[in-house]
Amino acid sequence: MLDDLESLNGVGSTTASKLRAAGYTTIEAVAVTPPREIMERTNIGFNTILKIQEAARQMVTTDFKTAQEFYEKRRAMKRCTTGSKKLDEALGGGIETLALTEFIGEYGSGKTQICLMLSVTAQLPHDQGGLEGNVAFIDTEGTFMPERVYQIASARGLDPQAVAKNIHVARAYNSSHQCLLIDKLFTLCPENNIKLVVIDSMISHFRGEYVGRENLSERQQKLNQYLHKLIRLSEAYNVAIVVTNQVQANPTAFFGDPNRPAGGNIMAHACTHRVFLRKGAKGTRIARVIDSPCLPEVPTRFLVSDKGIEDTEED
């Protein structure tokens, strides 16, 4: 990661500290952020920003890259275990960094449970399926349960206090507060070695606040803007992003599943992997990866238990 901002042509110590204070701590972050956003957050002049970004792009080659360069970048990608081998397999080996993974499901389907579990497993060493990093958790519904983190960590033989100390939790009270917290991630992640970011849920405040057709396009625009910030975050700091989403009834569906993910095409396009969750028999849950260009859509069964998430016994 290139964090020597002063090495950029036209950036002195004053400009560098303005950039850092606003959360742009690496040359990559400077290169990929829309100039208007940097201007709003730093008070640096627009033309200066364009020049700095030009220099930053030359250093991180954001224009055309060779396939070999892409390959190297993808190789930095890490995977985080969910605790269930079957579910990991269905996800292509676990939750990926450099990507946005969305868990969609009705109430009680296990979305929050998976997020809490990942907050523990992300801290494990790479050879145990972890990301060797800390966690940022944006809780929009007040359902983050520290007791559950302690329970999962203890059941897995980890020191619960040490695990809980590495999870940075913020409660978002409305959509603009949620957006502000997402902006803060650009400073929080590099400063605290954060490798997993959870937003549970991405969409509930947006759905609650922007009611009615006339507000739909504004809502979608804002949602799109912040989903793309999350994608940039994942690429700038090699972070795994996990968001949850609800289902909404589709009254025009006569056949098949009458429920579809909220957030429409904006959510569908921004998320790299989408996973549908539903309740199964005997307390099990069923996950199905949807819309994936490379993963099969086979339903996979897993269990929510004291240990968090695990394989069902019959497997």
Ligand X SMILES: Nc1ncnc2c1ncn2[C@@H]1O[C@H](COP(=O)(O)OP(=O)(O)OP(=O)(O)O)[C@@H](O)[C@H]1O
Decide which of ligand X, Mg ion, none touches 82; Cβ closer than 5 to 8 Å per partner kind: none
3-state secondary structure of 44: coil
> Any contact of residue 262 with ligand X (CB under 6 A)?
no
User: Phi and psi of 37, rounded to 5°?
Assistant: -65, -45
* Choice from 69, 191, 306, 315 touching ligand X (CB under 6 A): 306
> Any contact of residue 84 with ligand X (CB under 6 A)?
no
Site string for ligand X, 207-246 (x = CB under 6 A): ---------------------------------------x
At its nearest, how many Å lie between ligand X and the CB of residue 141? 6
Please say which residue, 58 or 154, places its beta carbon nearer to ligand X.
Answer: 154
Please say which residue, 144 or 237, places its beta carbon nearer to Mg ion.
Answer: 144
Site string for ligand X, 156-195 (x = CB under 6 A): ----------------------------------------
At its nearest, how many Å lie between ligand X and the CB of residue 302? 11
DSSP structure string for 257-305: -SEEETTHHHHHHH-SEEEEEEE-GGGEEEEEEES-SSS----EEEEEE
Sequence-distant (6+) residues with CB within 8 A of 53 are 30, 31, 35, 38
Contact (CB, 8 A) for 7 and 60: no
Taking the alpha carbons at both ends of the chain, their separation in whole angstroms is 41
* Choice from 166, 224, 292, 305 touching ligand X (CB under 6 A): 305
Residues 269-288 that bind ligand X (CB under 6 A): none
3-state secondary structure of 242: strand
User: Phi and psi of 174, rounded to 5°?
Assistant: -160, 180
Decide which of ligand X, Mg ion, none touches 107; Cβ closer than 5 to 8 Å per partner kind: ligand X
At its nearest, how many Å lie between ligand X and the CB of residue 153? 13
Residues 92-131 that bind ligand X (CB under 6 A): 105, 107-113
3-state secondary structure of 2: coil
Q: How far is CA 154 from CA 164, 183, 190, 276, in A?
A: 11, 33, 28, 28
Q: Which residues of 139-175 are buried (b: 16+ CB within 10 A; e: fewer)?
A: bbeebbeeebbbbbbeebebebeebbebbbebebeeb
Please say which residue, 107 or 255, places its beta carbon nearer to ligand X.
Answer: 107
Decide which of Mg ion, ligand X, none touches 109; Cβ closer than 5 to 8 Å per partner kind: ligand X
Residues in contact with ligand X, counted by CB under 6 A, come to a total of: 14
Please report, as ranges, the residues that interact with Mg ion according to CB under 5 A.
111-112, 143
* Interface residue list for ligand X (CB under 6 A): 105, 107-113, 141, 143, 246, 304-306
